[in-house]
Amino acid sequence: MIQKVKTYANVWLEGHEITVEADSSKSLPTIEIVGLPDAAIKESKERLRATFRNAGILLPNRKIVLNLSPSDIRKVGTGFDLPMAVAILFLTFEDKITLPQTEYLYFWELWLDGSVKRVNWLLPCVISAIRQWYKHFFVPEENVYELEYVPGIYIYPIGKFDQIVEYFIEGKEFYCIDQAKDIEKLYQESDVHEVDFAHIKWQLIAKRALAIAAAGLHNIIMVGAPGSWKTLLSKALPSILPPLWFEEILEVSQIYSIVGKLSKDVPLVTKRPFRQVHHTASRISIVGGGTRLTPGEVSLAHKWILFFDELTEFPREVLEVLRQPLEDKSVVISRVSGTIQYPASFMFVGAMNPCICGYYKDPQKACSCSLLDIKRYQSKISWPLLDRIDMILEIPREDIDKILNNIAEENSSSIREKVVNAWRIQQKRFLWLGISSNSQITSKHIDELIPLDSACKDFLSLASRKLVLSTRVVHRTIKLARTIADIQWQEFITINHLAEAMQYRSKTMFVDEG
């Protein structure tokens, strides 16, 4: 009689139900695996034999065929070891199995002695299975932390294959986790930040601009001389971000599960990601790819900040790969091994010096660079890329007397309250659209969601002609003005909001504009 066992395979974030069928026939005692398995799955034959031998179970003296269905999906990796072992177990002891078999899902790789090894991609598989109404999961003990906060499921932690034998064959009770842990503790642990805006003296315009950027998920580049606190301002940004919703936590955590970045100390990603990329990073490490189509930094920064410090030190070809994810909020990776789409809805934050020495147009120190050197230095950032940036902010160096002043600065908690209020307004506005921030509004929805009176339209028309603004920049200015109105609790956009939004797109530090 054919035995069937269910598991799930993920093509990265897309899960597929896989049925492992086991059958035997009178022939040479071998194990054959069919159903488009890769080399790692084919090698599991020896692991399966060793597992049964070390569990004291004699395999039938017959040919065993294991079919991984559906056969049109390529199966990759070693996570099919257990479902295949369970299918063989049920085939061997089919008369003794009384418990239901098809309502359980099995995940893990086996060691030769039957011990269980953790897997990286468990969370996205389980989330996909939950959507198909599965509730019972046999998982490695070392992976339990990923699932302990997911409600409505039953988790069976496995350390050795012997536990499966004892449960299904000998009828012993099995430890089951059927209550999800309270995620509030994780929220409290994640609400601790190294840098607070109260630690940064003055820079009032920059602080307001960053609050607006955080409220609407707007991309921003800060340009200024060395010592103007560009990097420190960027690192203070996470302290004013709104908290992740539980659905967002699972969405982000699935990406981190794929690349093995979840652990017992960080079972889920409850803090908005802040990914800082070094200028030696390659294009593949940023957008993702490689032989296994792994997600890159743009996807690991999903649901908030991707920070490029020393922006002009990055090769131009590396910066250009950001254009598509900045526009589409996702990244499509196409290789010989397949095509995959990852989410990449991030807020881009860049910091750069205006020239090689860093003092171009600095009022306190003369620049030592030639005009040609400055142009060459700044040319790494193309104008099409700058068109996708909502805010280009000049950061001046503050006077030393202001920095030494002991006047108390507004702290991150106070700024965060304003950001969260603006964020809630946007959540209500976009409830039916499936987006979460003003910056994500598409051009077809701008007129509907951001109505402008005749005075505002005239102002935009005049400004776009004088400043030679592209349509993309005009749309981004309107969306930025909408966020400024939200943070001020105002229902309609005025010329003042548009003027402030224009001010945050200053290109005076760029020689082509200056």
Q: Break the chain into its structural domains and give their ranges.
A: 3-168, 188-412
**513 pLDDT more than 60:** no
Class of residue 4 by CB neighbours under 10 A (exposed 0-12, middle 13-18, buried 19+): middle
Report how far Cα 146 is from the mean position of its chain's Cα atoms: 16
Q: What is the pLDDT of residues 385-419, one digit of tens each?
A: 998 999 999 988 877 766 667 676 788 999 999 99
Average pLDDT over residues 449-469: 90
Q: 284-331: per-residue pLDDT in tens?
A: 999 988 777 889 999 999 998 999 999 999 999 999 999 999 988 999
User: What CA–CA distances, in Å, run from 17 to 20, 69, 127, 314?
Assistant: 10, 9, 12, 42
Confidence of residue 444 (pLDDT cuts 50, 70, 90): confident
- The pTM of this model reads 0.88
Bridging pattern class, strands 338-343 and 330-335:
antiparallel
pLDDT band of residue 426 (cuts 50, 70, 90) is very high
Name the H helices within 104-229.
Answer: 122-131, 144-147, 161-168, 184-190, 204-216
Share of the chain above pLDDT 90, in %: 52
Residue 404 confidence (pLDDT): 67
Asked whether the domain spanning 188-412 has the same topology as the one spanning 3-168, the reply is: no
Q: pLDDT at position 514, please? A: 44
- Distance separating alpha carbons of residues 107 and 164, to the nearest angstrom: 12
Residue 105 DSSP SS3: strand
- Residues near 133 by Cβ (< 8 Å), separated by ≥ 6? none
**pLDDT tens readout for residues 112-137:** 888 988 888 889 999 999 998 999 99
**How many CA atoms are closer than 13 Å to the CA of 113, on its beta-carbon side?**
2
Three-class SS string for 352-406?
A: ECCCCCCCCCCCCCCCCCCHHHHHHHHCCCCHHHHHCCCEEEECCCCCHHHHHCC
Quick one: pLDDT band at residue 189, thresholds 50, 70, 90? low
Average pLDDT over all residues of the chain: 88
pLDDT, tens digit (0-9, with 9 covering 90-100), for 60-111: 889 999 999 998 888 887 889 989 999 999 999 988 776 665 688 998 789 8
Q: Which fold has domain 3-168?
A: Ribosomal Protein S5; domain 2 (3.30.230)
| Per-residue confidence (pLDDT) for residue 190, from 0 to 100 | 66
Classify domain 188-412 at the CATH topology level: Rossmann fold (3.40.50)
C-alpha radius of gyration, the chain, whole number = 28
Answer yes or no: are the C-beta atoms of 220 and 428 closer than 8 Å.
Answer: no
Q: Which two tokens stand for residue 336?
A: 């010989």
pLDDT, tens digit, 9 for 90 and up, residues 324-382:
999 889 998 887 767 888 999 999 999 999 999 989 988 888 999 999 999 999 988 99
Please spell the DSSP secondary structure of 196-229, one letter per residue: -GGGS-S-HHHHHHHHHHHHHT--EEEE--TTS-
Q: Which of 361, 313, 353 is nearest to 221 (CA)?
A: 353
pLDDT at position 210 is: 95
Is the pLDDT score of 468 beyond 80?
yes
Q: Is the distance from CB of 127 to CB of 16 less than 8 angstroms?
A: no
pLDDT above 60: residue 267: yes
Give pLDDT tens digits for 12-65. 777 889 999 999 998 888 999 999 888 889 889 999 999 999 999 998 889 999
Instruction: From 105, 36, 46, 49, select the one nearest 77 (Cα to Cα).
Output: 36
